[in-house]
Structures are given as C-alpha cells and as structure tokens.
Structure 1
Amino acid sequence: MDHGTARAFVDSWVTAWNAHDLDALLTHFADDVTFRSPVAAQLLGSDGVIRGKHALRAYWAEGLRRIPDLQFEVVGCYVGVDCLVINYRNQRGGLVNEVLIFAGPLVIEGYGTYLGEDANPAGAR
C-alpha cells in the first residue's frame, strides 16, 4: 500500500464514520471480513470477534445507536505491507488505533485497539 492510497482510504473512512454512513464505510470491507474488538465483546456479549460484513454492519449500527454523538478525528495513519493503522481520537477524546489488513483494495481483517479504560461501549467503537 502506498501513502496516497492510504490517505484516500483514511479520508473516506473518517468521512463515512462522522456522517454515520455505514453503507459508505462498508464498501471498503470484504464480505468475509473478520473484525476483533474488546468493545464488540462488551456491546454484544460475545468473544469480540465479528465475522462477515453483515455482522459487522449490525455491530457498528448498534454502536451508533448507543453513541449517537460518535465523531472521530484522525491523528495519524501508518502504512505497512498490505496493512494500515489509523490512530484517531473519539468523541470523548480517547485515543484509539484501528489496524486493518487488506487483500487488494478491501479490508479482510481488522482490530480495534484501545487504552485499557477507553475500551467501553459508552465511549469507544
């Protein structure tokens, strides 16, 4: 992944999140995506592993329902080989990293990572 592609992805990602536009956001994810998050475990009472785009939509829709003021501010993005880390600040000011693994242009695997006290459904995704 080059830096121009990464920047375009991040711009689209944060715009979709801040608009609460799940359709736009999910265009970046493969149908069989896997996403892991400690917040998913808390919100859904699960192991924190979301499997498939439909399940990811349901999880994020529930998060938006519970956090109607959700807004992200990108602090930085870090490019690797077939991966991207988005460092952002959420609506409470908490720092979060989203680690995304790509196959071509689509995310096939993602990880939401939080500082210990920020991994809660009231303030983080």
Structure 2
Amino acid sequence: MSIDHAFAQRFAEEWVAVWNARDLEAVLAHYTDDVVFASPRIVTFIGEPSGEVRGKEALRAYWAKALAQLPDLHFTLEDVRVSVDTVVINYRNERGTAVSEALTFRDGLVCRGFGAYTA
C-alpha cells in the first residue's frame, strides 16, 4: 500500500479524534490483529521491559491501563508526514509533551508502530 498525504491527514485527524474521545475500540479498529507496537510508556504502564507489545489484545491491555491512569488524556495534532507505507503523526499530549507516532500500514491497517517522546 502506497500512502498519500490526503490519506495520512484523514487518518491522523480521525486517530486523534478517537483518542480524544477515549474510544479505545475505535482506536484499535485501525490496527491489525498481529500488530507490534513499541513505546517507552509500555515499560511505565505495564512493566514490560522490552517496551513492546505483540497483538491487538496485548495492545488493548496496555492502552486500557494507560487510559485508566491518564484521565486528562488529550492530543493536539501538529503535523503529519508520509513515507511509502508509513505515516508519522506528530502531536502534543495533555502535558504539552511532543510525541511522534510512526505507524506502518498493511492492507489499510496499522501493523507496526512506535511512539517516540521528547524528554
């Protein structure tokens, strides 16, 4: 799947909207069942030392725990970047921290992703 800027922008706007609505199932609808996701927050929230979760169920468990601990969660979209099969969403979270999510697609769904944070 080759990704264009229009798709990436629409995806990012919807992704931010469902996160801000705290609709975990709507967020997860964008991911494959075999998704692999990495983030330093995985270590923080679920204690997984690898910083990685594998599969939609593991991703659901991680994000459900994070949502429970972040009642003020809110993302503000800053910009969107595109590669061949990857979208990078740059946003600020509820604490004003700059975050980038790099999301690789397969058949229209995210199959691999990672979150990167400023200090």
Q: TM-score, normalised by structure 2?
A: 0.95
Cα deviations across residues 35-76 of structure 1 (Å, max 9, x unaligned)?
Answer: 000010111111210110011011111001000100000000
Gaps of 5+ in 1: 117-125
Counterpart residue type for residue 14 of structure 2: S
Once residues 11 and 103 of structure 1 are traced to their aligned partners in structure 2, the CA distance between those partners, rounded to angstroms, is 19
Aligned residues: 116
Q: 1:115 offset after TM fit, Å?
A: 1.3
Once residues 72 and 102 of structure 2 are traced to their aligned partners in structure 1, the CA distance between those partners, rounded to angstroms, is 23
SS of 2:16's partner is helix
Once residues 94 and 42 of structure 1 are traced to their aligned partners in structure 2, the CA distance between those partners, rounded to angstroms, is 16
Once residues 61 and 18 of structure 2 are traced to their aligned partners in structure 1, the CA distance between those partners, rounded to angstroms, is 16
Q: 1:74 aligns with which of 63, 74, 77?
A: 77
SS of 1:102's partner is strand
Once residues 96 and 77 of structure 1 are traced to their aligned partners in structure 2, the CA distance between those partners, rounded to angstroms, is 12
Equivalent residue for 1:56?
Answer: 59
Q: 1:20 aligns with which of 6, 19, 22?
A: 22
Once residues 77 and 50 of structure 1 are traced to their aligned partners in structure 2, the CA distance between those partners, rounded to angstroms, is 24
Gaps of 5+ in 2: none
Counterpart residue type for residue 75 of structure 2: F
Counterpart residue type for residue 10 of structure 1: A
SS of 1:69's partner is coil
Once residues 104 and 110 of structure 2 are traced to their aligned partners in structure 1, the CA distance between those partners, rounded to angstroms, is 6
SS of 1:93's partner is coil
Matched, 1:83 2:77: no
SS of 1:68's partner is coil
Query: CA RMSD for the aligned pairs?
Result: 0.7
